[in-house]
Amino acid sequence: MKDQIKASVLGGSGYSGLELLKILFSHPRVQIDKVFANSSAGKMLHEIQPWFRNRLDVRLEQFSIDLVCSSDVVFVALPSGEAMNIVPQLLDLGKKVVDFGGDFRLKDVSLYETFYNRTHSAGDTLPRAVYGLPEWNRTRIESASLIANPGCYPTSVILPLAPLVKDGLVSSKGITANSLSGVSGAGRSSSAELSFVEVNETVKAYKVGNHQHIPEIKTTLEEISGSSVSITFVPHLIPISRGIYSSMYASITNNITTADLIHSYQKYYSSAPFVRVLDTAVPEIKNVLYSNYIDIGFRLYPENNQIIVFSVIDNLVKGAAGQAVQNMNLLLGYDETEGLL
């Protein structure tokens, strides 16, 4: 274990990339090596994000594989479809890689190609990828070289449901998840539908039935529970900058009680530093903003044979950059919370 490592970031001018750089800047064991942003190459980082002025004197560069030779870890904070062309080269150089996109989250290439609408060109690399959900995959993460950082929506849905489906407290069939996301979840896009006028004072569901995170949620819950899972996932865009609020509805099994639910969450998350189980209290987005926490609450309705589970995360932190650093810490043998508290 090195006391100090060098980290490079591809996609340093996007929302997740900038959030990552803020965390790495304050991380006691990390020196930021290179920052790449092809469309903004040549600019100083503080020109893109004034927060860095007089803090981090870095010029954004055009990516070249030769420029990361001095780095120990490379974060790929690029849109899905780009990492598959870069990650194999990084692994050949012996680098530890954390990928923010969806290119290595699904082991089934055909599933990826169906939901992402593109050909996967790095199928041979998929077996090397470990799904970076630390609360369930800690041991595999610690020995990995490539981490597929989970999506923001899946993080907010999988963590609350996983204990319940694994312990058989809810039916794995007919689960519904409704998620509300701030606009930053769509990335730093200039598209008209993400402009202030279009998103303000309205709520809109999108990609209903074909969102790319559906198979990620389903297959991960199936791997954890060991049983087939059917889930309906509906994402919504809401007029806030950041944060995700997910509400999940499932049928309970047998005559489970609130105490049974609390015991299940404690069993799996009592040692998880970033999972806060509120029991029957209802969580709020404002309580997790700019943090790597997920807050989980639930309400049991035995008269309807139903449970509603709620969760909140900051999509740019626990849903992206913070979870990526959490994974990096495990990869390198550091304390899981280092740089994140």
CA angle 265, 209, 158 (to 5 degrees): 15
The pLDDT tens digits for 126-146 are 999 999 999 999 999 999 999
pTM of the model: 0.96
Residues of the chain with pLDDT under 70: 188-190
Cα(241)–Cα(125) distance, integer angstroms: 35
Report pLDDT for 125: 97
The three-class DSSP label of residue 228 is: coil
Cα(83)–Cα(101) distance, integer angstroms: 7
CATH superfamily, domain at 5-151+319-332 = NAD(P)-binding Rossmann-like Domain (3.40.50.720)
For the chain, the domains span 5-151+319-332, 153-314
Cα(254)–Cα(272) distance, integer angstroms: 28
Contact 236, 179 (CB under 8 A): yes
Query: How many C-beta atoms surround the C-beta of residue 42 within 10 A?
Result: 10
The residues assigned a catalytic role are 152
Which residues lie below 8 Å from residue 300, measured CB to CB, with a gap of 6+? 252, 256, 257, 258, 261, 280, 307
Cα(46)–Cα(316) distance, integer angstroms: 19
CATH of region 153-314, choose from 3.40.50.10140, 3.30.360.10, 3.50.50.60, 3.30.465.10: 3.30.360.10
Report pLDDT for 195: 78
The three-class DSSP label of residue 33 is: strand
The three-class DSSP label of residue 145 is: coil
| % of the chain exceeding 70 in pLDDT | 99
Instruction: Find the helix packing angle between 134-142 and 152-166, rounded to 10°.
Output: 100
Which residues lie below 8 Å from residue 188, measured CB to CB, with a gap of 6+? 13, 14, 15
Which residues lie below 8 Å from residue 329, measured CB to CB, with a gap of 6+? 335, 336, 337, 338, 339, 340
